[in-house]
A and B are shown apart, each in its own frame.
Chain A
């Protein structure tokens, strides 16, 4: 069962972040919860690519036998982080815009104003 622990951590981060998003009463809080959801994918990718007993994919010479953790998922994690940061930046801008226009940061009140 212990070999599942990293994946369970990823699933837990996803669900607990989604819980925060559903119950959020403030847009900043909601955006941070979305970052938590996204961080579950970092944990998941890095867990998938891990290989026991070997080092990072950084080599001093070309004679190493390729014994290292998977570099492809690590590269994807970097992409993931960059996209996550940009999405957060953009959403924070939209949240400020919503505050200025509607005078509230509560998603619930925003919905009422719309309807």
Chain B
């Protein structure tokens, strides 16, 4: 436990009922329930086809027809973006809704904190980063890593970006696709942050760019689906020429949908990452009380994990001042 603990947390801790029943009782109830559940799961697994002998008819059928029907060589992509395309539309919007939720939750927190921190003379809003404190390139604001880590992150970022674009655009040919590629592209942006280049990170991940890309990707999926309704009377019907098997222009709408999902995922994860990074920068930037509050979260991270890991955990933190 760090010394900079805010007083209100300490006060709350003393209010706890000493030796409360929660820990031991919860554990006892859980062990009984978990033992029963685990036994039931294993017993139920005995009724499943033996490992390696599954013959689900849909999978067998799709393996037989997908290449001929859709000219794709990766059947998983064909399932996700064609045979089960409407489920993937829902999946994409789950991601969209979740990243919007993160932005809503954290920007509210950030708004409150920024009002407090403004006195410290820092303006995290504009992406220009002209007033960037130099210590956010070092110490705990940045990656916290050494020069080797930063150099490696900066060197790898363009490579990861290239791999991400490759994965996102080759889902119809190779394992991969829009979701995986989009995640890699967002990772490349985060690696810029890990390299300590906070200003460049803010420029690469500025909401003015990532948010429209996310919305464009999400909307384009619906547009492709509706184009199928207009052109062939079926939602997500394949209107684009299927192309030669194994080529980058194969798969028709599968390739198109992979690309737009790649945009959506890259944008959505970048927006999410920016919110978390701004949180950590804010926690590090505030002097005095704000800073200690931010550190407190980390201090407890260790103690909380230790409790659940091994010790009895009935009265953790009781001994702290």
Answer whether residue B147 sits at the interface, using C-beta atoms and an 8 A cutoff: no
Given known A-B contacts A59-B67, A106-B317, A47 and B94 have beta carbons under 8 A apart: no
Within 8 A of B (CB), among A19-38: 19-20, 22-26, 28-29
Q: How many A-B residue pairs lie within 8 Å, measured between CB atoms? A: 225
- Contact call B67/A62, Cβ cutoff below 8 A: yes
- Per-position contact with A for B289-321: 1 when CB-CB < 8 Å, else 0? 000010001001101110110000100110000
Known: A51-B55, A79-B88, A105-B297. A25 touches B307 (CB 8 A): yes
Given contacts A70-B56, A74-B79, 15 further A-B contacts (CB under 8 A): A8-B42, A23-B307, A26-B304, A28-B301, A28-B304, A50-B51, A52-B52, A57-B59, A57-B74, A58-B74, A64-B67, A66-B60, A69-B59, A89-B98, A97-B109
> Which residues of chain B are near A4, meaning CB under 8 Å?
42, 45-46, 51
User: For the complex, would chain A's binding face be called helix, strand, loop or mixed by DSSP majority?
Assistant: helix
Among the stretches B132-140, B195-203, B271-279, the one at the interface with A is B271-279
Residues of chain A with a CB closer than 8 A to B27's CB: 22-23
Whose C-beta in chain B lies nearest to the C-beta of A49?
B54
A72 touches B56 (CB 8 A): yes
Q: Are B102 and A6 in contact (CB under 8 A)?
A: no
12 contacts between A and B (CB under 8 A): A4-B46, A6-B51, A7-B51, A8-B45, A10-B45, A11-B41, A19-B34, A25-B307, A61-B67, A71-B66, A82-B94, A97-B105
- Beyond A4-B45, A7-B48, A83-B91, is A73–B74 a contact (Cβ under 8 Å)? no
User: How many Å lie between the Cα of A7 and that of B22 in the bound state?
Assistant: 32
Chain A: interface size category? 35 or more
Q: How many residues of B contact A (CB 8 A)?
A: 87
| A15 CA to B79 CA, complexed, in Å | 31
Contact A23 B26 (CB under 8 A): yes
Q: Which of A8, A23, A70 contacts B59 (CB 8 A)?
A: A70
Within 8 A of A (CB), among B85-101: 87-88, 91, 94-95, 97-99, 101
Interchain CA distance A61-B6 in the complex, whole Å: 65
**A67 CA / B76 CA spacing, docked (Å):** 14
* A58 adjacent to B73 (CB under 8 Å): yes
B residues in contact with A64, CB < 8 Å: 63, 67
Q: Does the CB pair B26–A93 fall under 8 Å?
A: no
Stretch from B11-19, B151-159, B218-226, B252-260 contacting the other chain: B11-19
Inter-chain contact A3/B301, CB cutoff 8 Å: no
